Amino acid sequence: MTGRRVVLALHDAGGTVPPMLAIAEELAARGHAVTVLGQRGIERRARRVGADFVAFAIPDYATDRPIEEQIEAVVPMMTGRGPGDELLRTMEAADADVVVVDANLAGVAAAAEASGRPSALLLHSLFETYVDTWFGELWPFLAPLINETRAAFGLAEGSSWNEIFEPHDRLVAAVPEPFDAPTSVAPPATLRHAGFLVPSATAAGPDAAIELGRCDEPTVLVSLSTTDMGQAPLLQTILDALGGLDVRGIVTTGGQRFGPSLRVPANVVVHDYLAHAAVLPHADAVVTHAGLGTVAAALDHGVPIVCTPIARDQPLNAARVAEVGAGVVVPAATATADQVRAALHEVLTDTRHRQGAERVAAASARAGGAAGVADDLEHLSR
């Protein structure tokens, strides 16, 4: 079909980025004109997948303190009119046929709704987090600001996240349906399970590549949050666990700096940043904080997981991994090296975890992934 013009809007809160980049990468590969509207730190990754880039006025979040402590930037990004106005200007300049907005950005979503053009919201977290936990719990605090912005765009007030999701043409869940969690509230009829949305290794760039030589021991990838969650003690616990196993450990710190005090065993290599897609084809297990981006990447490759959830949506994601039989859970708050070591031994030796991960990978492939989302956006923009 004739190339379409698509605007994708997101903020850089760690797991918000990979699924949107996967969509941008697929659309650009099809010859569509893609513009990513985001914070400046996203620009290099957006351009690598073939998208143009426009920066929000709100700057990048600081990487040396938790996002939850940066209310002065996060709340305006999520609820304010300014980012919504920036979306409208970007859509006008691009002559956009369709727009995709991260579901966190309620003010930007309001602008997309008011534009009258086809729109989709992307759930980078499970729908359950918006109705029962996490963002659902934040709704009473954010609602007055969200509704102030909605009124500024001539829209009716919303009484819940679900209600402000409903007017959009699509609500895209970045997981396959079998991985999703049951909820107390039915989602909008527009919800579509896309499967895991994972960008390619190319999207991360050459600085995130790795050459893996032959190894007779199992390969274990360790990936914790790309944002500050106070994860240094947990990482040390995981390193201590790896040191007692006959495995090859590959750690990516996601840009987080832990200093020279980190004790790294001889069978482990630590990298500042690696593309999951470059390592996972060779991995036998993943140890992660259970952010949905890493969980999605691991399960998309059928790799079983040891989940060490810290906060946010991670306990829910970890519970879903265990429920579908794709791994085990060791909560970060109480994790010991012996517990992580035992969990790793289990997922590496009990084939049921690999089989569970492969079942979820197959379900994700059937859901269509980024290609399915691109098909849907092409349909909406006709």
pLDDT in tens, 56-80: 999 999 988 888 899 999 999 999 9
Cβ-contact 92, 84 below 8 angstroms: no
Are 187 and 238 in the same domain? no
Give the three-class secondary structure for 161.
Answer: helix
Are 28 and 165 in the same domain? yes
Are 143 and 18 in the same domain? yes
Query: What is the pLDDT at residue 140?
Result: 96
- In the predicted structure, residue 232 carries a pLDDT above the cut 90: no
Are 92 and 125 in the same domain? yes
Are 24 and 45 in the same domain? yes
More confidently predicted of 33 and 275? 33
Q: pLDDT by residue (tens digit) across 278-333?
A: 899 999 999 999 999 999 999 999 999 999 999 889 999 999 999 999 999 999 99
- The closest of 348, 243, 225 to 294, measured between CA atoms, is 225
User: CA 168, CA 197: separation in Å to the nearest integer?
Assistant: 20
Q: What are phi and psi of 236, to 5 degrees?
A: -65, -40
Are 14 and 161 in the same domain? yes
User: CA 26, CA 22: separation in Å to the nearest integer?
Assistant: 6
Cβ-contact 200, 382 below 8 angstroms: no
Are 27 and 119 in the same domain? yes
Query: What is the pLDDT at residue 231?
Result: 85
* Number of domains into which the chain is organized: 2
Q: What are phi and psi of 133, to 5 degrees?
A: -135, 175
- In the predicted structure, residue 207 carries a pLDDT above the cut 70: no
Are 256 and 167 in the same domain? no
Identify the CATH number of the domain in which residue 84 sits.
Answer: 3.40.50.2000
User: CA 213, CA 207: separation in Å to the nearest integer?
Assistant: 18
Are 237 and 183 in the same domain? no
User: CA 176, CA 346: separation in Å to the nearest integer?
Assistant: 25
Are 141 and 248 in the same domain? no
Specify the length of the chain in residues.
382
Query: What is the pLDDT at residue 208?
Result: 63
User: CA 29, CA 299: separation in Å to the nearest integer?
Assistant: 24
Query: What is the pLDDT at residue 275?
Result: 84
What percent of the chain clears pLDDT 70, i.e. is strictly above it?
A: 97
Query: What is the pLDDT at residue 262?
Result: 87
110 burial (CB, 10 Å; 0-12 / 13-18 / 19+) is buried
Q: Which domain holds residue 156?
A: 5-201+367-380
- The closest of 200, 201, 4, 190 to 103, measured between CA atoms, is 190
Are 171 and 86 in the same domain? yes
Confidence of residue 256 (pLDDT cuts 50, 70, 90): confident
